[in-house]
Amino acid sequence: MAVLLYHLYSFIAVFSYGLYFLVSAARAHLKHPHHRDYAARPYHPLPLPPQSRHLLRHLPLYLALLALAIAVAHQLISAAVSDPLLRGRTPVHRLEALQFAAVLLLFLLLALALLLSHSQPHILPLPPDLAFLLAALAFGLLYAAYARSAASYNPPDDLPARCDAVASVIAAASAVLCLALAIFPRLFVAELALAGSVSLLGLWLLQTGLSLYAEDFIPEGCHRLLDVAAGIDGSTRCVLEESRLRAAALLDLALALHATFVAVLSVVVYAAVSMAVGGGAPGGGVRRMGSYEALPTASSAGALSDMDHVQMKAMGKNAMQA
């Protein structure tokens, strides 16, 4: 039960930050009308006035620091628990828990560096490309940790190994996208995909917890081992080959549904943010910037010129008939 609650907690933390990053990136992109001066940023403060309190403007980073600190503490506690019935006589899960703790600690240090770069830039001026590079390193180490965890199961195609393998693929995709943003900071599609991959990772953490530790969601033909303490990773097994294949197919279906949901959510969020900032006005309406209106573009100026020309022709024709 404790591990299920931890997966639920991880889902809330990771998915909410991915959603916040998606909304913030879309808003920042739409605030640049020509999109030529736009550059991706690893963190967007809350859109509050500059005179607002520091804690409120950087509340997402403070919440991320708290969530990462709790996650590191959980992994360290898990490393202290030994269960030789889990994966043979060697407590392999101890080393894996320490590896995950080290990766989460790197994410925590990155979040702390981002907070210092925004609050005290003279102490730590962290450029965005370097921050994305460090994020790529962190996601790459997370990929290695999940891949190592998936390879440690016997058989390697069992249900827990499948869950970790999918998580490693999502982490690898996030690492590649962070590296792309470090090299090409104006690639908004990569920033949008990064927000989607983080949200997808949060959803998959929830799916892993349900598939391994919730009795009502464990696939048919799979069960929790009776001789393993409740809540220990790897305590769910599929005995028959047919059951393993069916469980793998169900996980693939769940991954496809989660990915589709994230894709639809990204489109809906971008459309909603576009309407909120004024970029989605029907009929190509003029975008207002504060209490002023933007100057007419070339197309609108041409339309006004054509209208004046038609009116002048009509006035000349009426004068000749008079």
What's the pLDDT tens digit per position in 178-232? 999 999 998 899 999 999 999 999 999 999 999 988 888 888 888 776 544 444 4
Reported confidence tier of residue 235, pLDDT bands at 50, 70, 90: low
- Domain assignment present for residue 182? The answer is yes
- Domain assignment present for residue 54? The answer is yes
Quick one: 211 and 313 in the same domain? Answer: no
What pLDDT score does 58 carry?
A: 87
Quick one: 121 and 260 in the same domain? Answer: yes
Quick one: 304 and 226 in the same domain? Answer: no
Quick one: 202 and 317 in the same domain? Answer: no
- Domain assignment present for residue 283? The answer is no
What pLDDT score does 145 carry?
A: 94
- Domain assignment present for residue 88? The answer is yes
- Domain assignment present for residue 72? The answer is yes
Quick one: 314 and 182 in the same domain? Answer: no
Pick the range with the lowest mean pLDDT from 59-73, 154-168, 172-186, 250-264: 154-168
Quick one: 220 and 310 in the same domain? Answer: no
Quick one: 7 and 52 in the same domain? Answer: yes
- Domain assignment present for residue 224? The answer is yes
The range of the structural domain enclosing residue 311 comes to: 295-321
Quick one: 175 and 214 in the same domain? Answer: yes
- Domain assignment present for residue 288? The answer is no
- Is the CB of residue 200 less than 8 Å from the CB of residue 258? yes
Quick one: 169 and 315 in the same domain? Answer: no
Quick one: 26 and 130 in the same domain? Answer: yes
Q: How many distinct structural domains can be found in the chain?
A: 2
Quick one: 315 and 230 in the same domain? Answer: no
